[in-house]
Chains A and B, each alone.
Chain A
């Protein structure tokens, strides 16, 4: 399960339910609807986020390797055909 996005507070703010964050605080429970305007006004800044655990990068790499190999072979044959044509 993904963790909430964390934001650094640059300007003091109050948010529901009856919470207060001062400049310098890092919070992850801001109301979702408020985040866009708080970012636009420079009231908060994105700190970072944790990716979901379901992501398995190894599978993506294998797919990329196969594609690259295929492309390389095609390119090689194409070059040979051009040479023959000349």
Chain B
């Protein structure tokens, strides 16, 4: 197993980062060939502008959601409620900045807390009542948008709060501020999961829950924490989405975002069965979707048709993760080599 060649081979067959990175590279190469303007980056007023920067900026929400979703899927669960949590926290933030004089940091803290509480509720349904994750989070997904509507009283709340507007539209170090948010969130998540035992517990819970419990791993606590973390990521994404349009549009914010996030995680190489996860893969997956979307827009494809290529990538990613499909692929290669 210490053979370096075997290690390299493992990257190719182990379903790790290779496929998502290759796909992303292929997509970028396609753009390089057909629309070189895709790579043009200009500096204006000390800020970088260009399609690549747009991809990072637009992809920030899905990257954030994907971070939380990766951990949830790592435990063998799934969180369908992130879109609704985005709507709730967005509505809450808009209400707080328009009706109270709270500093933005306090608003941010309250919204993050709200996201954590909503996520913890999902986690409790999953661990205490042992409801399947899809269904447990479906409840919040259905109710969440109603709650967001209640908060804003069915209106679209607009605001002009400068700090809140900066949160989703500002620039920092030449790049959109959202990139900084994602970078910080990623660094924190990576440190917490790879430098502490939490990552191990998450993978243990996803791999074999019963065995982990018998080993003394705090499976239930870890699961609740993971769902709460997903709620926090959704809260941040919700604030960005709300800040982007300077309004809380409860019926539309985060619509179908949960699917994009699951898609990013899956394409990134984290299997839906749990037990193993890759944060970098999910970020690459999120960038892949966003690049795909942006490329299609640049090619003049109507946004409504965008789901078709997305669906094809999902199904391909699914198939590539299926052991049976891999065996069939392997079979084809084996036959060829024996024929030679």
Do A and B bind? Answer: no
Which residues of A are at the interface with B, using a C-beta cutoff of 8 A? none
Could you tell me which B residues sit within 8 Å of A by CB distance?
A: none
